[in-house]
Structure 1
Amino acid sequence: MDVRRLMLLVEVLDRGSISAAAEALQYTPSAVSQQVKRLEYEVGQPLLSRFPRGVRATDAGLVLYRHACRIRDQLQAAQADVDAVAGLRQGHLRIGTFPTVGSSLLPLAVRAFKEKHPDVRLTVHSARFDDLVQRLHAGSDDVTLLWDYEWNRFRDDELDVVHLLDDATMLVVSADHRLARRRRVRLAELSEEEWVVREADHPVTEVLDRSARAAGFSPRISFRANDYQEAQSMVGVGLGVALAPRLAVVNRVPGVRVLSLAGGVPARRILVVTRRHAIAAPTEAAMLSTLREVADDLA
């Protein structure tokens, strides 16, 4: 049965005549009568008893009218729910992130988003780069935060990528280091230092290798850390110096100083990535706007 014809049947019986329904819907009476006849053909029995001054439902028409009223109510409820999602009065947004952003930028964005849209449910999943991309493709996450460097730009034809901000590479030294009172340091000044680094295949290790080579030295490694908190702790006790993205050292351990680097040490880009849609979901658009506001404040 055609749902539009069911709604037309409700209109006719609510108003008591085909002509009244036609006037309310801005149709011609013949057009309404024709649609009712088609519905009767679909059902296989008469739905209306016609009289000179109106119509009345047959037994079959009354049964179908009751069902059609419930369908109408469900359609109206569905439209109301869709309108609520559009108005950010309900909905569910799933966010993918990685640890250094999940402990710095994203909590600020989540707080700001929830203040504006308290009825939207947020869930956050932290994972490695490849897992985040896979979850986005699979629809497990709606919005994902990623990063890249200039020698390995992230591209995917099925995803929309927005450059959120540049996350500068910083130098981490102990509080009693000879350079600790400086605000900015050239990497060439660190040629005799020992270095605390991440694992060999970690991007920040490649930043050090590339930058040290450009500065004319090969870094001597004293410790390989599993995360930036561990790296900071080892720097703090004098085991060496380290490079880290600025967002990775927002939450500092005691006994370290964070200095700017001169001379064009590569920064990483922080990206917001979504599946490519013709129309962005309201929750995604609102979160992107919030992330941009927070990123502007951090910048």
Structure 2
Amino acid sequence: MLDVRRLAVLVTILDHGSLTAAAKTLGYSPSALSQQLQRLEQEVGQPLVRRQPRGVTATEAGALLAGHARYILRRLRAAESELGELAGLRRGRIAVGTFPTIGTTLMPVAISRFRRDYPDVRLDVHSARFDELVAALQENTIGLSLLWDYEWNRIDEPDLSIIPLFEDPTVLVVSQDHRLGRTRHVTMSMLRHEEWIVRKRDHPVAEVLERSCRAAGFSPTIAFEANDYQEALAMVSVGLGVALAPRTAVQSARPDVRIVSLGQDAPSRRVVVAHRSDRVRPPGERAMHQILVDVAREQLVAG
């Protein structure tokens, strides 16, 4: 394997036509430069320059090798320039994961800010379910992702680095004409006679309801199982029942429903940002990470 630095020495010597001039340009002593040239000639097994009274000229092997060396050095300079653009966030591409309820609140603000600050970096955003996001992180198809968990089911993926962003409280959703529609805060014990709209049984918020009701000493009466939060809110709006939901899932709720605080009576979910711990993260990814942290902090203060 030829040494790139010695190839650069050869090109500089031939461009200047003199070891003395090349040594001055490269910051070597003439003897040190001569040693570098001799080592390169030993590596290729042929003389590369002809020493003449007034400088040096290339041998056939030297001219051949110098031509290839110039191409290699140009490509290295181009690589250095492009890496510098990536480091300076003047180009590049990153892929970020999110999930639907956060994709309508925190993520749009973060995307707008990233595009404003780094307009030359391509930002791809993928919304998916939890398992799909984890798989995409592990397969390196996305670099970082927003995820969530609850205290009884923490994310346990040894190859992922997990950084908490904020706690997303569980709130009560009622119709605008419900008896609690003008109440700011309720406890679960006040809801024992309510009928409930709940996400399908395999959804985490269904477990939140079961745990919250059990802690308050009753079992919930289920009136309807919804496929998504939009359907759940629609059923709540017509008085079919009340519902629990993470605050971010109903932050832009329908005008005909009301959001009521449950305080600590229902468990909150933790929203985190995750990335693979064994990767060297590109500058654009680190910048997006910081924006997510900043936006989460700002929304927490505003809320």
TM-score (norm 2): 0.94
- Note the C-alpha offset of 1:278: 7.0
Contact 1:148 1:268 in 2 (8 A): yes
Q: Which residue of 1 aligns with 2:131?
A: 130
Q: Which residue of 1 aligns with 2:195?
A: 194
- Note the C-alpha offset of 1:75: 0.7
Distance 2:173 2:16 in 1: 78
Alignment of structure 1 residues 69-108 onto 2, 5 Å: 69-108=70-109
Could you list the per-position Cα deviations for residues 216-252 of structure 1 after superposition, in whole angstroms to 9, with x for gaps in the alignment?
1100001111111111111011110000001111221
Could you list the per-position Cα deviations for residues 47-103 of structure 1 after superposition, in whole angstroms to 9, with x for gaps in the alignment?
211113311112332232222112111111101111111111111110111111112
Alignment of structure 1 residues 1-299 onto 2, 5 Å: 1-277=2-278, 279-299=280-300
Task: Tell me which amino acid in the other structure corresponds to 1:166.
Answer: E
Task: Tell me which amino acid in the other structure corresponds to 1:185.
Answer: V
Distance 1:179 1:266 in 2: 20
Distance 2:3 2:155 in 1: 48
Give the 3-state SS of the residue equivalent to 1:122 in structure 2. strand
Computed over aligned residues only, the root mean square deviation of the Cα atoms, in angstroms, reads 1.5
Distance 2:163 2:141 in 1: 19
Task: Tell me which amino acid in the other structure corresponds to 1:27.
Answer: Y
- Note the C-alpha offset of 1:277: 4.3
Could you list the per-position Cα deviations for residues 232-275 of structure 1 after superposition, in whole angstroms to 9, with x for gaps in the alignment?
11101111000000111122123111111134311101000011
Task: Tell me which amino acid in the other structure corresponds to 1:241.
Answer: V
For structure 1, the residue ranges without an aligned partner over 5 or more in a row are: none
Give the 3-state SS of the residue equivalent to 2:156 in structure 1. coil
Contact 1:173 1:258 in 2 (8 A): yes
Contact 2:173 2:257 in 1 (8 A): yes
Distance 1:71 1:36 in 2: 18
Contact 1:48 1:56 in 2 (8 A): yes
Task: Tell me which amino acid in the other structure corresponds to 1:229.
Answer: Q
Give the 3-state SS of the residue equivalent to 1:185 in structure 2. coil
For structure 2, the residue ranges without an aligned partner over 5 or more in a row are: none
Task: Tell me which amino acid in the other structure corresponds to 2:128.
Answer: A
- Note the C-alpha offset of 1:27: 2.7
Could you list the per-position Cα deviations for residues 32-58 of structure 1 after superposition, in whole angstroms to 9, with x for gaps in the alignment?
223223323333432211113311112
Contact 1:187 1:263 in 2 (8 A): no
Task: Tell me which amino acid in the other structure corresponds to 1:290.
Answer: I
Contact 1:98 1:127 in 2 (8 A): yes
Distance 2:258 2:279 in 1: 47
TM-score (norm 1): 0.95
Task: Tell me which amino acid in the other structure corresponds to 1:149.
Answer: Y
Instruction: Report which stretch shifted further, 16-25 or 164-173.
Output: 16-25
Instruction: Report which stretch shifted further, 162-171 or 252-261.
Output: 252-261
Instruction: Report which stretch shifted further, 17-26 or 114-123.
Output: 17-26
Give the 3-state SS of the residue equivalent to 1:115 in structure 2. helix
Could you list the per-position Cα deviations for residues 108-135 of structure 1 after superposition, in whole angstroms to 9, with x for gaps in the alignment?
1001110000011011111111111111
Contact 1:187 1:262 in 2 (8 A): no
Distance 1:167 1:40 in 2: 68
- Note the C-alpha offset of 1:214: 0.7
Give the 3-state SS of the residue equivalent to 2:186 in structure 1. strand
Could you list the per-position Cα deviations for residues 139-191 of structure 1 after superposition, in whole angstroms to 9, with x for gaps in the alignment?
11101110011111113222211101111111110111110011111111111
Distance 2:290 2:175 in 1: 37
Contact 1:112 1:290 in 2 (8 A): yes
